[in-house]
Every structure is written in C-alpha cells, then in structure tokens.
Chains A and B, each alone.
Chain A
Amino acid sequence: MQSGTTRTGAGSDGLGGRIRSALLTFVLILPAGAWYLVLLVAPLVIITIFSFGVRAKNGGYAPAFVLDNYGAILGDLDKAAPFTTSLSMAIAGTIGCLLVGLPLAYFIATRGGSRKGLFILLLVIPFWTSFLIRTYSWLIVLGPENLGGFVGDVIGDDSFRILGTPLAVLIGLVYGYLPLMVFPLYVTLERMDRTLVEASKDLGASRWATFRQVTLPIALPGLITGSILVFIPMMGEYVIPQILGYGRIYLVGNALVTDFLEARNWPAGSAKAVVLIAVMMFTVTFYTWFVNRGRRGREVSVL
C-alpha cells in the first residue's frame, strides 16, 4: 500500500515531483555536505596551498609558490626519520591493539552472555576521563617506583626503565586507542552466526582451522575498520611520546608542533602534514588491498 502510493505519486507528478524529490535530497544532504566541505575539504585545500608558501617575516604564512618545503622533507633522509619512526610505531601499535583487542572482542561477543553490556561499559568508562590524565597516570604505573623499578629488580638491572623508551610509547598507544579496535570487532563478532562454527567443527575442522577459515573472514570487516581507526590517529600522535616517551621519541606529530609553534613556519609544517596524509593514504590503501586480496575468488571457490 505504502510503496504503491509513493510510486504513483512520483509517477503522476512527473517533472515537478522529480524536482521536489531532488530538492528534498539536496536539503537532506546539505548539513553533512556542508560539514564535509567546511571542516574536511577546506582545511585540506588550505594546508595544501600553505605548503607551497614561505614563512612570513614574523612567522606564519606568506603566499609564494616554492617546492622547498617538500624538498626539505624528501631530499634529506635524516628529516624523513620522524615519518619512518611514526610509521613503525603506528604499525606496532595497530598490531598491539589487534593482539589485545581481538581476543577481548571475541570473549565479550561469544562468552559475555548477559554481562555483555557491563563489559562494554567497563571498556568505555575510562573514556569519561581526560585523555591527558589517563596518560599521566601511566607515568606512575610505569614509573621507577612501580612497574619500571619492579621489572628492574626482577632482572637485576638498576638502570632498567620503561618510561622514555619506545615500549612506554607503545603501551600508551595501545591503551589509548584499544576501544577503537574493540568496538568494530565486537560488532562483527556479535552478529556472527554461531552455527557456522559448530558446522565447521562437525565437518572435522580443528579449532585453528575454524578460526582461520570461519571466524576470521567474518570478523574481517571489523578488523579492517578497527585497524584503520587506530592506525590513523597513531600516525599523528603527539601527546603520548611527549609524556610517556619523555620527548625521546620524535614522531611526525612532534615535528609538526616544532614547525608550527617554535619555528612559526606554517608552510614547512603544512608540507609535512601533506606528506603525512599521503603516507597514510598509501598505507591504508595498501593495507585494505592486501587483506582483501583474492577474497572474492575464494568466496567463489567455496560456492
């Protein structure tokens, strides 16, 4: 009945109806579109333009068209170091999130029972506190009087420390972004049809084979989403290396702060930001291609 009226309405009104529906679509898309344009596209355009400029005499941006800002990053391997450090930290952090997040999401989704809501709540609660305060509290946990000193005592090395090392930054990254990995994984695993797992076992597959051939492919969309969600902010991370890394781990985020605030050289910073975006786009595209490769073919072969 309903679909019938809609169709007749659209049909009989002809041109006017089509215009009206186009107008409606436009109005509905407007908020999201404006948001996208003003807050995403416009800043990207601005930093791209800035990246070809020069530093104004008193800092900031002065219009010009030079490639020096890119030349400085790409021409000197030493200056590319923050990018490679960031990339390796972000990849390690994403793997860390995956190693912790997958079992956790799997547990909550399949064994959570009536307490699923509680588990999810527990996962969310830390987010109610400022990110900065949570990061500062790791200073105490990992500090020389606590975990850092304890491990040092156990292995008998007084100079052992966690704070100020890449490990501390890694712990901070995994802790800080874990929920962004767990939620998408949880959603896909929660919807998983448990009978598929039973069927797999009935057909004689081992636990590992079941995981690899049934659970993992089903979880894959969540896994991809989660990985991208944690990877991207990790690439731009600034606060964690500053606090837990004691400023000893120099990432792109830190280089950007130096450019924008200390050197007040907005064009140089903008060029780094553009390169960072390019690196991320390449990495994310490659990653999605890599995990999806041959997937369609395999599905066909299953059929």
Chain B
Amino acid sequence: MAQRDLGEYLARISQNKVNRRSFLAASGLVGTSAFLAACSSSGSSGGASAAPAASAAPAASAAPAGDIEDSLFMYNWSEYINPDNIETYKAEFGVNTFQYDIFSNNEELIAKLQGGASGYDIAAPTAEYVPGMVEEGFLAKLDLSRIPNQKYIDPAFLGLDWDPTNEYQLPKDFGTTGILYREKLTGKPVESWRELYDLTLGEFSGKTVFVDSMGDVFVMPLKMLGYSLNSVDKAELEEARKILLDLAPHILSLDSDTYQVKLSSEEAALCLGWTGPLLELRANPDTADTAYSVPTEGSLFWLDTWVMMADAPHPNASYAWLDYIHRPEIQALETEYNGYATPSSEARKLVSQELLDDPAIFPPESVMPLLEGAVDTSGNNQRLDIWAEFKQKIGS
C-alpha cells in the first residue's frame, strides 16, 4: 500500500506537469526557480539565457514584408498546445523551426523579459500581467487586420480592463477558480462559497485545503460578501479579513502542488482550487466522485492570452500563427487537448457535448455573468498583511 503511494508521489513529482494551473503557486521548486530566474536575470547576463534561440534565427529583414519566415519562437506554459496543431501549422506555412520554450509561472516570463531576453516571437501570459508588460514596452501592438479569425472570439472577452482596446493580446484559453470536493464524503454538491465556509467551520473542520495563492484565496470571502474579488476597499477587505481568520484554524493545509493527493487520500474533502488535477482524479475509479463547482456567488476567471513581442524576429510567422490558432476547428482541437475552455464562440460549436457540459472546463451559463477577471492587486499592502496574518493563523 505504502509502496504504491510512494510510486504515485514519485510519478507525480517526476512528471512535474505544471499544466497551467498548478502555477501561481509559490511552490517550492517552481517558486525557487522563478526567484532564482528573477535574480539572475536582473543582472546583465539574463538575456543570455534566451540568446541561443535568438542567434539561431535568420535575419528577419532578409524576407520581404508579408513573406512568412521559416521559424517561430514561442514562450509558453508546458503542454499547452496540441502537438498536432503545431505539426499542421509547420506544414501549411513552411515553418521548419518551431521552438517551444516553457515557463512555469508568469513571474518567470516577466523576469526573463526584464532581464533583457530577446528572440521570442510570441508568449502566453495571463491577462492581468499584460498591462505591466505593455508599460515595460515588451509587447507589439497587434494589427488585427492580419488576424481575420479573431472575429470568432466571444465579445465577452473583448475590451476588458487589462486591454480595453484589444490591441496587445488575443484571448487564448480561460478557466475558473472554484471548489473541488469529494462528493462521497460531503454527501451533497457544494455549490457556493457560503456552503464551503459553513462546512469548513463545522462538519469538515480540518478537512479543507486552500491553494497557496493570495489572489485565489481572496476570491472566497470577497465574493461571499458580494464584493468585487479585486476589491482594495479598506472596509471590504477588513470584512474579508474576519472571514479568513475565522477559517484559518479549520484549514488542513495551504497547498498548491499536492492538493490532489490530499483529496484522493480523503485526508481532505474540500478544496478551494483549480481544475488542473480534476481530470486525473475523475479518471481513477477510487476518486471518480471528485466534483468541481463554480460557486454561485461568482468567482474568478483567468484568461491566458497570446501576445507578440515588440522585437519579435519573425512577425509574419507570428501573425500566421495567431490567425491559424483562432480557426474554429483548430481552437476546438486545442480545448480537446488541454482541457481548458476556448474563448472562441465559433469553436465552441465544434467541441464535444461532454466537454461543454463539464463545469470544470466551460463554466455554466448561469455563472458566466458573475465571473470576474483578476486585476494585479499584489501591490496592495492591506491585502498582503491580511494574507500574512491568515497564513500565520492556519491550523492554530
């Protein structure tokens, strides 16, 4: 028994799939490496890490405008693009070199760019990081006339705070923060933040895990109170603080990396978390009762975006990619592959009904209006103080 467990742990660790949502996590390795990356790239040598990729690129200026270059350098989350789509793209546009470099969180991406990394054509940051990247001058303004397929994007994802004029990013995938729970243990669906709160304080004291991510944890008290999850209002945050401190002693763990292990061992019954590990949990007969809900009070939706670098060496190949990836049939294949929702309303029609009905992938229509995008609030000291206080009171 124990050996099987160890096998599982080790397999998980070695796989280390930072599949999109295990990320924001200030997780041990990820966090440390990002930190190191940040440190090293703030020096002058930082650019060197991306330089080999750049030096391999032929001079873009040699090609007349409009000609698609034969290379594309992408910086993205791991396993985030359907490999078949990459192959088709390469064949169709004659792009021979498709470089796919991986970052494990937005901080890593930004730290690398701040260190002067050049040579990348496109990247996939989360939307709330886009305004900062624009301010730093990292991103190219997109010429939407060269991306005709962007017309398929659901207007719900256009004109949002982080890019009001839709000039710097193209929506890529989206998803939510919500409640994961073992229905076998709870005996009933857990569908609201209020229920999560009551259960954690009551019957399931010591059986609830929260992801170790400030932005996501604040969603719960603020939405429960009916406020914006991005609130920086003093009084509202003070109310949120009380709720978090009520919860703290009853929380089993703050864990962004192995919460699925705690759910599968039944050490935890409830989890404020992401959808990443859900497919895996449901695939296992022992944990097939794991369910996910987007709380009825509303929640956070994250949006990953395509951006083009200001100094992209292969702008034409980049435009070709951006337009290609937004073909409805290609978008549908993306969602089937990575299990995250497409923002393309046309592609949605091509996705299987099973995926459409899965609240873990496509949030139900009823909660869509209650979803809110995250703004980067990491500079708010009141939030930080509450977060630190909450962390200190966990389990005490």
Contact = CB atoms under 8 A, between A and B. Distances in A.
Nearest to A76: B385
A224 B4 CA distance: 42
A144 B264 CA distance: 13
Contact of A239 (B28, B38, B114, B261): B28
A140 B35 contact: no
Interface in A210-258: 238-239, 242-243, 246-248, 250, 254-255, 257-258
Interface residues of B, number: 48
Given A55-B379, A137-B6, A262 B255 contact: no
Interface string A132-144: 1100110110011
Interface string A256-276: 011011111100000000000
Contacts of B59: none
A59 B26 contact: no
Contacts of B110: 59
A257 B391 CA distance: 12
B15 interface: no
Interface string A36-64: 00000000000000000001011110000
Contacts of B9: 136-137, 139-140
Interface of B is mostly: helix
B135 interface: yes
A18 interface: no
Given A247-B255, A257-B26, A257-B31, A143 B392 contact: no
B6 to A, nearest CB: 6
B252 interface: yes
Given A257-B31, A258-B384, A263-B378, A247 B254 contact: yes
B35 A257 contact: yes
Contacts of A144: 265, 267
B114 to A, nearest CB: 7
B132 A58 contact: yes
B2 A262 contact: no
A248 B29 CA distance: 18
Given A59-B378, A246-B253, A247-B394, 8 more contacts: A79-B388, A139-B261, A143-B267, A144-B265, A144-B267, A247-B254, A254-B391, A258-B391
Interface of A: 55, 57-60, 78-79, 81-82, 132-133, 136-137, 139-140, 143-146, 159, 164, 238-239, 242-243, 246-248, 250, 254-255, 257-258, 260-265
10 contacts: A58-B135, A136-B13, A137-B9, A164-B253, A246-B253, A247-B212, A250-B388, A250-B394, A255-B388, A258-B214
